[in-house]
């Protein structure tokens, strides 16, 4: 009976112990469970943040050398407060090797080492690397500037001249077709030349509109300048990850071209039927100068091979042998006269402006990059 009593007492005790829990409010019970879970989670998280092992100088050095220089600097800064030996270890064993890092690595390392004894030591390396990098950027931009000007001279200008010659050829044909009673019928111009030379000049310049040639030249140049601006911006983004918002805009120089007195005399003789005389003068005007140019490495045709768009090239031998039709010669003389003036007086002005804009843009590009390094 005693045992049975004790057992019963224990049973009653147990039942009485659990009664209050069952009788608790449901919301209070949930709160108790949640609180317990939070305590367990926090204790687990705290234990997971504790280092699995104490750092020793050897372990610390091995860990840093296996990291990137930037991450090694961050590791040192994070742990130096708990391990007094890290300051001297990092300064003696790691800092000397950091001078071989590049500019971008040293920039990040200096940022990671702020407020540490090693920061100023690495900052000296960074300043030296920055100067070296800035000089390499200066040389590269200068090289690019010279290359851009060279491409304009050797590639863009010949393309411009080719298009200009084509426009001139079409316009001159239209002039003679309209005002001479049909193409290849230039002798009807004799009346105009004989009575009033100004009339022909006026009619000629009604068709030969200089604004059209300026627009053609400007379009080529502006397209090239826009390409340079795009390349400069891409270069800037690559170095400092910032846009270089610079615009180069071509403005037209004054175009002063006209038929020279010599050309008008050529046309007058053609229209008067003085074929032999004009071909002899062609030899004097074109053959001798071109022969001298050929002897010094110049061209040997009336039009440079890189810019001509005509189906028939006027060669020195053709002129000497009088193989050129007198009517064809009129076209060549007029076209050559105007083309020569554009290529030797107007385009050089354009080239000068383009070179100045390229130099100034690259100077601004360099200054913008350096100020943001």
Per residue in 95-105, pLDDT tens?
999 999 999 99
Spatial separation of the C-alpha atoms in residues 178 and 373, rounded to whole Å: 64
Q: What percent of the chain has pLDDT over 70?
A: 62
Q: Say yes or no to pLDDT of 299 above 50.
A: no
What does the pLDDT average to over 171-191? 63
Q: What is the pLDDT of residue 310?
A: 32
Which of 188-197, 277-286, 331-340 has the largest mean confidence? 331-340
Candidate from 167-181, 184-198, 206-220, 237-251 with smallest mean pLDDT: 184-198
| Token representation of residue 352 | 């000068």
Q: What is the pLDDT of residue 259?
A: 77
What is the greatest pairwise CA distance in the chain?
158
* Alpha-helical runs (H) found in 152-208: 157-179, 189-195, 197-207
Q: What is the pLDDT of residue 177?
A: 73
- Do 349 and 253 meet the contact criterion of CB atoms below 8 Å apart? yes
What does the pLDDT average to over 169-175? 83
Q: Is 56 left (phi over 0), alpha (psi -120 to 50) or beta?
A: beta
What's the pLDDT tens digit per position in 207-217?
778 888 999 99
Q: What is the pLDDT of residue 342?
A: 92
Q: Say yes or no to pLDDT of 15 above 90.
A: no
Q: Say yes or no to pLDDT of 337 above 80.
A: yes
Q: What is the pLDDT of residue 316?
A: 52
Q: What is the pLDDT of residue 87?
A: 95
Query: Which is higher by pLDDT, 205 or 163?
Result: 163
What Cα–Cα distance (Å) separates residue 45 from each residue in 38, 39, 79, 252?
A: 10, 10, 19, 73
Spatial separation of the C-alpha atoms in residues 250 and 217, rounded to whole Å: 10
Q: Say yes or no to pLDDT of 52 above 60.
A: no
What does the pLDDT average to over 262-282? 64
Q: Which phi and psi (to 5°) does residue 301 adopt? A: -125, 165
What's the start-to-end Cα distance of the chain, in Å? 94
Is the pTM higher than 0.75? no
């Amino acid at each position: 009976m005693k045992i049975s009593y004790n057992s019963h007492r224990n049973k009653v005790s147990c039942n009485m112990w659990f009664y209050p829990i069952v009788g608790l409010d449901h919301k209070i019970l949930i709160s108790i469970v949640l609180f317990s879970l939070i305590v367990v989670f926090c204790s687990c998280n705290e234990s997971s943040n504790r280092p699995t092992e104490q750092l020793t100088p050897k372990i610390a050095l091995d860990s840093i050398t296996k990291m990137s220089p930037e991450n090694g600097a961050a590791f040192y800064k994070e742990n130096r407060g708990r391990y007094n030996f890290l300051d001297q270890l990092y300064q003696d064993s790691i800092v000397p090797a950091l001078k071989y890092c590049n500019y971008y690595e040293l920039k990040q390392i200096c940022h990671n080492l702020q407020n540490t004894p090693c920061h100023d030591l690495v900052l000296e390396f960074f300043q030296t690397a920055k100067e070296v990098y800035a000089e390499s950027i200066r040389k590269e931009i200068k090289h690019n500037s010279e290359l851009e000007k060279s491409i304009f001279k050797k590639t863009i200008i010949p393309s411009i001249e080719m298009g200009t010659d084509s426009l001139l050829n079409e316009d001159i044909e239209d002039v003679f077709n309209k005002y001479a009673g049909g193409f290849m019928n230039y002798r009807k111009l004799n009346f105009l030349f004989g009575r009033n030379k100004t009339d022909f000049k006026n009619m000629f310049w009604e068709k030969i509109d200089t604004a059209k040639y300026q627009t053609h030249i400007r379009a080529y140049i502006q397209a090239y300048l826009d390409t340079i601006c795009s390349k400069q911006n891409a270069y800037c983004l690559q170095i400092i990850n910032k846009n270089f918002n610079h615009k180069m805009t071509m403005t037209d120089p004054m175009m002063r071209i006209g038929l020279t007195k010599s050309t008008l005399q050529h046309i007058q003789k053609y229209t008067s039927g003085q074929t032999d005389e004009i071909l002899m003068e062609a030899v004097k005007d074109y053959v001798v100068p071109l022969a001298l140019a050929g002897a010094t490495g110049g061209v040997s045709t009336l039009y440079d091979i890189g810019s001509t768009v005509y189906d028939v090239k006027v060669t020195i031998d053709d002129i000497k042998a009088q193989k050129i039709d007198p009517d064809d010669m009129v076209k060549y003389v007029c076209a050559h006269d105007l083309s020569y003036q554009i290529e030797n007086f107007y385009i050089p002005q354009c080239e000068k402006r383009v070179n100045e804009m390229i130099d100034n843009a690259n100077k601004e590009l360099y200054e913008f990059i350096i100020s943001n390094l």
